[in-house]
Structure 1
Amino acid sequence: MTGRRVLLIDDDHVFVRTLAGALERRDYAVDTASTLDDALALAAAGRYDCMLLDLMLGEQSTLNHIGELLEHQPGARLVMLTGYASIPTTVRALKLGAADYLAKPVGLREVLSAIAGGEARPADGDDTPRPLPLKRLEWEHIQRVLNEHGGNLSAAARALGMHRRSLQRKLAKRPPPA
């Protein structure tokens, strides 16, 4: 074994089983938690090189608990995983102490790179940055305006020049892939 210990915190049991199995096949020791309480207990009791933390556990955001997890594991890298990536949450997570931020679906290569402390690279090995699709740019702009208005949908809709209900429908959809 490499001696690398990972704490995987996610409430998607299929994702956890798949990722934990892939990491264990690469000689990582993996502990899993599906709730914040379980994660905090494991972080307080063990020693981890890396913690992989889902942004949302059920309806609860984990952003405000990054510092608490890092207090228990000061030498660990904390990598955020999320299906709801946006620029404001990325910036906030990094300011709170996350070392990396990966949007699901995420490949094993990107997870391994984040655990090792490297930069995630595109799967094809091409280092050339790709322009974001228009729908993704729209999603990120909406998230930025919503964040600027403190989450107030009516104010954000007015600033965006759209009906509040249209904004709600756009927000109810998953973010487009980057």
Structure 2
Amino acid sequence: MTSDTANLTETQSIGPDASLLLVDDDGPFLRRLARAMEARGFAVDIAETVAEGLAKARHHPPKYAVVDMRLQDGNGLDVIEAIRERRDDTRIIVLTGYGNIATAVTAVKLGAIDYLAKPADADEVFAALTRKPGERAEVPENPMSADRVRWEHIQRVYEMCERNVSETARRLNMHRRTLQRILAKRAPR
């Protein structure tokens, strides 16, 4: 298949409205992903903060969105809610380095169609954005490690406690500072 044929196929899978909003506070990653998505046929707009993402989502709600969960000025879920208020057909992907099941469930309830852990490459993002309804993502080859299972449990309890560190530490019978250190780290593989 030639490069022109591949581009035509990618453009056809995107549809006539190719507007894509990327919201991430990692500037170099954001610009790299924007270039890669533009090369695949999207009309890309970027935001590096929740405030900027909210403004862009309200002004011109996109057909596609990739939103980082944790941003310096807040939570990317607020951007998802703003997009959903204006447009219900947007295909939204949540992208985060702090992946856990509890936040994935919350993101899906708010309208995200997929949840990818960083570092996700442009091919993974494109595949998630253009996946047809009912089409399933590939099952991971390796099961979660014991560290990852522990991390998921801590995150689930943390979300149940409405992100209250003291209450979460009490329920897990863990010292508050130990829990804060665990929560500050990226998710184990």
* TM score, norm. by length of structure 2: 0.80
Unaligned runs of 5+ in 1: 122-126
Q: Is residue 61–residue 83 contact of structure 2 (8 Å, CA) maintained in 1?
A: no
Sort the Cα spacing of 1:50 and 1:161 in 2 relative to 1 into closer, same or farther, 3 A: same
Q: Aligned partner of 2:92: which letter?
A: L
User: Does the alignment pair 1:139 with 2:151?
Assistant: yes
Q: Aligned partner of 1:9: which letter?
A: V
CA positional deviation for 1:111: 0.3
Q: Aligned partner of 2:148: which letter?
A: R
Q: Aligned partner of 2:186: which letter?
A: R
Q: 1:168 aligns with which of 175, 180, 185?
A: 180
Q: 1:74 aligns with which of 88, 93, 101?
A: 88
Sort the Cα spacing of 1:128 and 1:155 in 2 relative to 1 into closer, same or farther, 3 A: closer
Mapped to 2, the partners of 1:134 and 1:79 lie a distance apart of 27
CA positional deviation for 1:14: 0.4
SS at match of 1:146: helix
Q: Is residue 49–residue 73 contact of structure 2 (8 Å, CA) maintained in 1?
A: no
User: Does the alignment pair 1:150 with 2:162?
Assistant: yes
Unaligned runs of 5+ in 2: 1-7
1:44-123 to 2 correspondences below 5 Å: 44-46=58-60, 48-118=62-132, 119-121=136-138
Q: Is residue 5–residue 50 contact of structure 1 (8 Å, CA) maintained in 2?
A: yes
Mapped to 1, the partners of 2:131 and 2:64 lie a distance apart of 10
Mapped to 1, the partners of 2:176 and 2:31 lie a distance apart of 39
Of all paired residues, the percent bearing the same amino acid is: 44
Q: Aligned partner of 2:156: which letter?
A: R
Q: Aligned partner of 2:42: which letter?
A: Y
Q: 2:33 aligns with which of 19, 32, 49?
A: 19
CA positional deviation for 1:134: 0.9
Mapped to 2, the partners of 1:40 and 1:151 lie a distance apart of 22
Q: Is residue 7–residue 30 contact of structure 1 (8 Å, CA) maintained in 2?
A: yes
CA positional deviation for 1:128: 5.8
Sort the Cα spacing of 1:40 and 1:139 in 2 relative to 1 into closer, same or farther, 3 A: same
Does 83-92 or 61-70 show the bigger shift? 61-70
SS at match of 1:113: helix
Q: Is residue 93–residue 116 contact of structure 2 (8 Å, CA) maintained in 1?
A: yes
Sort the Cα spacing of 1:132 and 1:35 in 2 relative to 1 into closer, same or farther, 3 A: same
SS at match of 2:112: coil
User: Cα RMSD (Å) of the superposition?
Assistant: 2.1
Mapped to 2, the partners of 1:159 and 1:101 lie a distance apart of 27
Mapped to 2, the partners of 1:106 and 1:43 lie a distance apart of 23
